[in-house]
Amino acid sequence: MSAYEAIILTIITASTPLLLAAIGELVVERSGVLNLGIEGMMVMGAVCGFAASYVTGSPWLGVLAAVLAGVATSLLFGFLTQSLMTNQVATGLAITLLGLGLSGLIGSGFVGLPGVKLTSVSIPWLTDLPYVGRLVFGQDPLVYVSVILTLGVAYVLKHTRVGLIIRAVGQNHHSAHALGYRVIAVRYACIAFGGATSGLAGAYLSLVYTPQWIENMTAGRGWIALALVVFSTWLPARLAAGAYLFGGVWILGLYAQGMGIGIPSQLLSSLPYVATILALVIISTNRRLSVINTPASLGQGFVPDR
């Protein structure tokens, strides 16, 4: 494996959990709900995925369990914010704390056990191609899932009626309600989708990235995913670029350390965040472009007026 292949593989592995969690959050925010509970859903997905795969021996059952755990946590968030009309920001933070604590409890019996790894895809002839073989045809299955999800979300949001309804609900929920669309049902569905992808991202961490369970495994990735959604101005293509930019700068910082360049490690650790902020500043210079995609009803609870 050549050095450049190894670099790109490592970057893809580092960026995929961010991309998975963020693409779901993008859909949720496009429908007008601000979900700050991604971190909690991710870590619940991680622990349930690890537990299920350890108990059954099959990593795919672990992935399924992770998705279900993410959906369950997000539906709790959905119930609180959509049916009981609680403040979305506070509820999201509460779900994060709940997820972190509950996952620690569930996972306490699983700490220190070696996990079952989701093996990479291997297509007989294509994977052995010289430069692109492993990168394009030899990835983990979940990397392909993340790519398909990104393309799918981009297509659905822009070119289908379902996407139009979601965007309408996010832009102006009162108008959408007046037109007869079921705002709360649409938001529930989007929240469940967001929970599923967050669970999937968590499963990636505990089944592919480091096949073990440790408390607080997500290490703040949920918050990074949340920031990436805003960074991307709610466009899936920019989201993918942002996720890979973040992962790329992080891995290249480690490379610089390994090469012996005399930059302090603390500075290199901060580079991904600095790069993201810089990119955001550049995007924001064009005010029209950055504001145009903001869902106008983001974070506002919907109370149907008669």
Name the residues that contact other proteins, by CB under 8 A.
Answer: 1, 3, 6-7, 10, 13-14, 111-112, 114, 117, 205, 209-212, 214-215, 217, 219, 250-251, 254-255, 257-260, 265-266, 269
268 Cβ partners below 8 Å, 6+ apart? 253, 254, 256, 257
**What are the CA-CA distances from residue 125 to residues 9, 128, 134 (Å)?**
19, 6, 11
Residue with Cβ nearer other proteins (181 or 255):
255
The nearest distance, CB 115 to other proteins, in angstroms, is 9
Residue with Cβ nearer other proteins (111 or 289):
111
Residue with Cβ nearer other proteins (134 or 238):
134
The nearest distance, CB 30 to other proteins, in angstroms, is 29
Q: Are 66 and 48 in contact (CB under 8 A)?
A: yes
The nearest distance, CB 221 to other proteins, in angstroms, is 8
Q: Residues 211-241, buried b or exposed e (16+ Cβ, 10 A)?
A: bbbbeebbeebbebbbbbbbbbbbbbebbbe
The nearest distance, CB 73 to other proteins, in angstroms, is 21
Residue with Cβ nearer other proteins (193 or 204):
204
Radius of gyration of the chain (CA): 20
40 Cβ partners below 8 Å, 6+ apart? 73, 95, 96, 97, 98, 99, 100, 103, 222
The nearest distance, CB 55 to other proteins, in angstroms, is 17
Residue with Cβ nearer other proteins (54 or 77):
54
